[in-house]
């Protein structure tokens, strides 16, 4: 067997594989001999079928199968030994008339080669790393929410500003009938609130859906309709009041603190706020880290310049599409353009991993799985699971290859984030969560 490569340019190559008779003949003969022992052909006893008949009936199929196996094994071995970093998979060149009666065969494959490039993590302009804090306003709101959540409902005769109202939205024509609980602050403007104030159980309020809420998602929940159905919806609905309650706030006492965090973990309102702040800022840190990871990724993709074998990749996308969704040239180009950014980042990420010797071991994956399991068990009150319990559960979790891969990718992302924090040009900005949302996502 002989394998040669011709580099078309820096990003494309053609590999030629020449297979001689001595490469496959012994294997083909052995398989045909085994077939002869088991072949069941009328007129011949098993094991006594003439070899010529076996070759005539099975020879070509066995030859084709063995040559293809040999071809794939040889090609994979060649790519590994030559340390060729290919994109996609080698594409066989079209050969319409292979003479399977010949002794030697030649096959050609197109390769798309990964480009050579350097990655500079440090940007000229600083990338913001947010330090999100839970300010006094948020802490007060969280305490108030806890008091409401753990308070008790007290029945009322009529609706007042802070009432919790249960009732049914109806519209016969649209077959809408949906029971919900609501508070008046959900409605847009004061006009709707005025319709409810002073109303009693059994009263029917007529409402227009247009402008009823600031957020159409609230209308989806209220009427139990899909997003497309509520978009621009302008109909009349009724709301029949069934119950009116007010919520008596829970006392901020030791009984409530113990219910929330366990006995004597929190002993005062000050400690309650400290605990809320600690838990909230842990979550904020994760959100800020994800934002930093996204921002550095965007910077690297936009500022790390290299060419790709675009024509090859479009052809590869086209040839690997399934029969039910076969793509023409224009569709393959469109799919490539959609995936180009992802391809670029995969190459950049791989380069960073190699250059910085970033590795994730099986022990890393196992330890991460155990910490994750430990956290989940703590949510259900199991605070001190044994090492054996954690090992057994982790083994079951990691027996799922998809889950093991997901954890591995998560750990790689964490290590890349550590790299970015160390080497990127970062500017720390401290602000409240409310201001973070406004700055990053817009004032909604």
Using a pLDDT cut of 90, give the percent of the chain over it.
76
What local confidence, expressed as pLDDT, does residue 321 receive?
78
What local confidence, expressed as pLDDT, does residue 323 receive?
61
Tell me if 402 sits within 8 A of 278, measured CB to CB.
no
In a domain, 361, yes or no: yes
Tell me if 351 sits within 8 A of 117, measured CB to CB.
yes
Is 443's pLDDT higher than 70?
no
CATH number of residue 86's parent domain: 3.30.70.1050
CATH number of residue 192's parent domain: 3.10.50.30
User: Which of 187, 214, 248 is the last residue before a domain boundary?
Assistant: 248
What's the domain count of the chain? 3
Give the mean model confidence (pLDDT) for residues 408-412: 94
Same domain membership, residue 172 and residue 53: no
| Segments forming the whole domain that contains residue 39 | 2-113
In a domain, 385, yes or no: yes
In a domain, 119, yes or no: no
Average the pLDDT over each of 244-253, 318-327, 387-396 and give the range with the smallest value. 318-327
Quick: pLDDT tens for 202-239: 999 999 999 999 877 899 999 999 888 888 889 999 99
Tell me if 187 sits within 8 A of 212, measured CB to CB.
yes
- Rounded CA gap, 308 and 317, in Å? 14
Same domain membership, residue 226 and residue 85: no
β-pair type (127-133, 426-432): parallel
User: 373: Cβ–Cβ under 8 A, 6 or more apart, which residues?
Assistant: 385, 390, 393, 394, 397
Is 384's pLDDT higher than 90?
no
Is 380's pLDDT higher than 90?
no
Quick: pLDDT tens for 63-113: 999 999 999 999 999 999 999 999 999 999 988 788 998 999 999 999 999
At 39, the pLDDT band (50, 70, 90 cuts) reads confident
In a domain, 120, yes or no: no
HSE value, Cβ hemisphere, 13 Å, CA-based, for 342: 6
In a domain, 19, yes or no: yes
In a domain, 14, yes or no: yes
Give the mean model confidence (pLDDT) for residues 297-307: 95
Same domain membership, residue 403 and residue 289: yes
Same domain membership, residue 432 and residue 294: yes
Same domain membership, residue 69 and residue 15: yes
What local confidence, expressed as pLDDT, does residue 320 receive?
85
What local confidence, expressed as pLDDT, does residue 324 receive?
64
Same domain membership, residue 380 and residue 273: yes
Same domain membership, residue 283 and residue 404: yes
Same domain membership, residue 425 and residue 355: yes
Q: Mean pLDDT over all residues of the chain?
A: 91
- Rounded CA gap, 196 and 206, in Å? 10
Same domain membership, residue 388 and residue 313: yes
Same domain membership, residue 275 and residue 200: no
In a domain, 257, yes or no: no
In a domain, 145, yes or no: no
Same domain membership, residue 82 and residue 195: no
Quick: pLDDT tens for 143-195: 999 998 899 989 999 999 989 999 999 999 999 999 999 999 889 988 999 99
- Is pTM, for the whole model, over 0.85? no
Same domain membership, residue 405 and residue 354: yes
């Amino acid at each position: 067997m002989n394998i040669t490569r011709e580099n078309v340019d820096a990003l494309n190559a053609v590999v030629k594989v020449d297979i001689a008779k001595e490469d496959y003949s012994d294997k083909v003969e052995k398989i045909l001999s085994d077939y002869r022992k088991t072949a069941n052909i009328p007129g011949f006893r098993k094991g006594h079928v003439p070899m010529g008949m076996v070759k005539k009936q099975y020879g070509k199929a066995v030859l084709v199968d063995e040559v293809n196996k040999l071809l794939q094994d040889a090609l994979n071995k060649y790519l590994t030994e030559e340390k060729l970093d290919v994109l996609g998979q080698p594409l066989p060149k079209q050969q319409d008339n292979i003479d399977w009666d010949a002794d030697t065969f030649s096959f050609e494959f197109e390769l798309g080669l990964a480009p050579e490039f350097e990655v500079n993590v440090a940007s000229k302009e600083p990338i913001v790393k947010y330090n999100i804090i839970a300010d006094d306003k948020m802490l007060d709101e969280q305490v108030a929410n806890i008091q409401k959540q753990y308070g008790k409902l007290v029945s009322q005769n009529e609706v007042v500003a802070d009432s919790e109202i249960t009732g049914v939205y109806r519209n016969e024509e649209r077959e809408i009938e949906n029971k919900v609980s609501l508070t008046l602050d959900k409605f847009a403007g004061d006009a709707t609130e005025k319709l409810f104030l002073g109303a009693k159980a059994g009263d029917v309020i007529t409402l227009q859906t247009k402008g009823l809420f600031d957020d159409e998602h609230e209308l989806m929940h209220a009427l139990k309709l899909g997003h497309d159905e509520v978009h621009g919806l302008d109909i009349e609905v009724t709301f029949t009041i069934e119950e009116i309650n007010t919520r008596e706030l829970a006392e901020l006492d030791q009984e409530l603190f113990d219910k929330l965090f366990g006995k004597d973990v929190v002993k005062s309102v000050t400690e309650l706020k400290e605990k809320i702040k600690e838990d909230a800022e842990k979550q904020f840190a994760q959100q800020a880290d994800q934002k930093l990871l996204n921002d550095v990724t965007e910077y690297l993709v936009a500022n790390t310049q290299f060419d790709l074998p675009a024509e090859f990749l479009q052809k590869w996308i086209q040839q690997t599409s399934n029969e039910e969704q076969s793509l023409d040239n224009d569709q393959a180009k469109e799919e490539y353009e959609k995936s180009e950014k992802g391809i670029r980042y995969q190459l950049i990420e791989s380069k960073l991993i190699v250059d910085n010797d970033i590795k994730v071991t099986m022990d890393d994956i196992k330890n991460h799985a155990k910490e994750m399991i430990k956290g989940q068990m703590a949510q259900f009150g199991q605070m001190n699971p044994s090492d054996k319990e954690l090992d057994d559960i982790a083994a079951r979790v990691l027996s799922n290859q998809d889950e093991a891969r997901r954890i591995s990718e998560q750990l790689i992302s964490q290590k890349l984030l550590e790299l970015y924090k160390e080497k990127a040009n970062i500017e720390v900005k401290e602000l409240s969560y409310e201001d973070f949302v406004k700055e990053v996502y817009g004032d909604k």
